[in-house]
Amino acid sequence: MMESQMMQTVEKVPLKIKKLKNFLGDLPKYQSAGASGFDICAQVREPIVIQPGARAVVPSGLSFEIPLGYEIQCRPRSGLAAKLGVSVLNTPGTIDADYRGEVQVILVNLGQEAVKIVDQERIAQLVLAPVVQAHFIEVMELSETIRGAGGFGSTGR
């Protein structure tokens, strides 16, 4: 599928973004026509050094007005993970529609060497996703399945 055809089939949902006082640079953008996530950058005055096994909360300088019925999921960037061992600790992190504070990313260094996060470095990707809430119904019994209560490897390694 050509990129121009791909752009015609992607639904665009309005997402309000507020630049906070610590924000510098450009607003987030999708890096390709078929990308599901848009990158956000570190907004730090001084580099943050994350030692192996350690974590750090990195500010983005942005807040969002997420439409009701949606969430934003915060996910690791594959390049940081593959090259440096840096991931988002609570993957995927959830940003609820009623949250209006600054989006901050909890990065963890799973690598063998210290990693320096510098200002304007792309640190995570955000994905706008639809949300379905459950209507809870208390019951005395649940329907049976072949798997039953088997978990943690019960269907194989």
Q: What band does 8 get if pLDDT is binned at 50, 70 and 90?
A: low
Tell me how far apart the alpha carbons of residues 61 and 58 are, in angstroms, rounded to a whole number.
9
pLDDT value of residue 10: 80
Amino acid at 117: I
pLDDT value of residue 141: 94
Q: What band does 152 get if pLDDT is binned at 50, 70 and 90?
A: confident
pLDDT digits (tens, 9 = 90+) for 48-72: 999 999 999 999 999 999 999 999 9
Q: What band does 146 get if pLDDT is binned at 50, 70 and 90?
A: confident
Report domain extents, the chain: 3-130
Tell me how far apart the alpha carbons of residues 36 and 34 are, in angstroms, rounded to a whole number.
6
Q: Is the pLDDT of residue 7 over 60?
A: no
| Token digits of residue 29 | 């953008």
Q: Is the pLDDT of residue 2 over 60?
A: no
Please name which of 70, 75, 62 lies closest in space to residue 96, comparing C-alpha atoms: 70
Q: Is the pLDDT of residue 134 over 60?
A: yes
CA 144 to chain centre: 35
3-130 topology per CATH: Deoxyuridine 5'-Triphosphate Nucleotidohydrolase; Chain A (2.70.40)
Residue reference for tokens 């990065």: 107
pLDDT digits (tens, 9 = 90+) for 18-51: 999 999 988 999 998 889 999 999 999 999 999 9
Q: Is the pLDDT of residue 99 over 60?
A: yes
